[in-house]
Amino acid sequence: MENSALIRTVNLTKIYPSGEQPITALRDVNLVFQAGEFAGLVGPSGSGKTTLLNIVGSLDVPTSGSVEVLGEKIETLSHKKAARLRNRHIGFIFQTFNLLPVYTVYENVEFPLLLLGMTAAARRKAVRDALAWVGLSDRERSRPAQLSGGQSQRVAIARAVVKKPDLVLADEPTANLDADNSHHILHTMEDINRDLGTTFLFSTHDAKVIAHLRRKITLVDGRVAADEARTT
């Protein structure tokens, strides 16, 4: 059997209707990602990074062209099937962490598992494992307001990986962190990529993150301007 890609975009184009002048956010993007990649989208603000991550994550649909994720054509999925794909297979990490403020660290990480029909005991084990991966086992009972930015983003990583998704999409995950915390976040994601085989696709402006990418895709005006593999 042919080695099937985790993500494949074919002539992916996204045009936002915006008054007189529609905005073309992505033009004919053709990219293939294999399972296990640790890849980043770089490029100036407005180059289409967030749009591409949102479409790959089935949070948005293309105007034309197609995106296949885990063998599913995103643009043809019903809302229900798209939700199922996200809930089971995709973890999200955002620039602003997006933790639920009234819930504890433990509850924030447990949240995605409540959609999966797991037993309480299985959830407990998964949450404890995920908090151990990010080095926050001692903060289970804290609430987001009691955490630093770096700790908050580590909780968000635990929440993204707790269900052992095939793919984690991270939109500028270190944009609100200082250099030390960015470094820590990056190492945490690299460890998870290596140990669990989780595929990571980021967007970033951060030179520190870019230096760690094994594949760097540069977007300019919605087009792929460069796609470089880094050999180590």
Residues that bind ligand ADP (CB under 6 A): 16, 18, 23, 25, 43, 45-51, 203
Query: Is residue 95 close enough to count as binding Mg ion by CB under 5 A?
Result: no
The CB-of-35 to ligand ADP minimum distance in angstroms stands at: 25
Q: Rounded to whole angstroms, how far apart are CA atoms 88 and 105?
A: 21
Q: Could you tell me which stretch among 5-13, 43-51, 62-70, 151-159 binds Mg ion (CB under 5 A)?
A: 43-51
Query: Is residue 47 close enough to count as binding Mg ion by CB under 5 A?
Result: no
The CB-of-109 to ligand ADP minimum distance in angstroms stands at: 27
Q: CA angle 95-50-112, nearest 5°?
A: 60
Whether residue 40 contacts residue 217, with contact meaning beta carbons closer than 8 Å, is answered with: yes
Q: Pick one of Mg ion, ligand ADP, none as the site partner of residue 78 (Cβ within 5 to 8 A by kind).
A: none
CB-based burial label for 103 (10 Å; 0-12, 13-18, 19+): middle
Q: 202-211 burial string, b = 16+ CB within 10 Å, else e? A: bbbebeebee
Query: Is residue 153 close enough to count as binding Mg ion by CB under 5 A?
Result: no
Query: Is residue 50 close enough to count as binding Mg ion by CB under 5 A?
Result: yes
Whether residue 71 contacts residue 87, with contact meaning beta carbons closer than 8 Å, is answered with: no
The CB-of-48 to ligand ADP minimum distance in angstroms stands at: 5
List, in sequence order, every residue forming a beta bridge with 61; answer none if it has no partner. none
Nearest to 163 by CA among 96, 205, 110: 110
- What the block records as the tokens of 119 is 């037993």
The CB-of-125 to ligand ADP minimum distance in angstroms stands at: 36
For Mg ion, give the closer residue by CB, 110 or 171: 171
The CB-of-45 to ligand ADP minimum distance in angstroms stands at: 4
For ligand ADP, give the closer residue by CB, 45 or 232: 45
Whether residue 183 contacts residue 208, with contact meaning beta carbons closer than 8 Å, is answered with: yes
- The footprint of Mg ion (CB under 5 A) covers 49-50
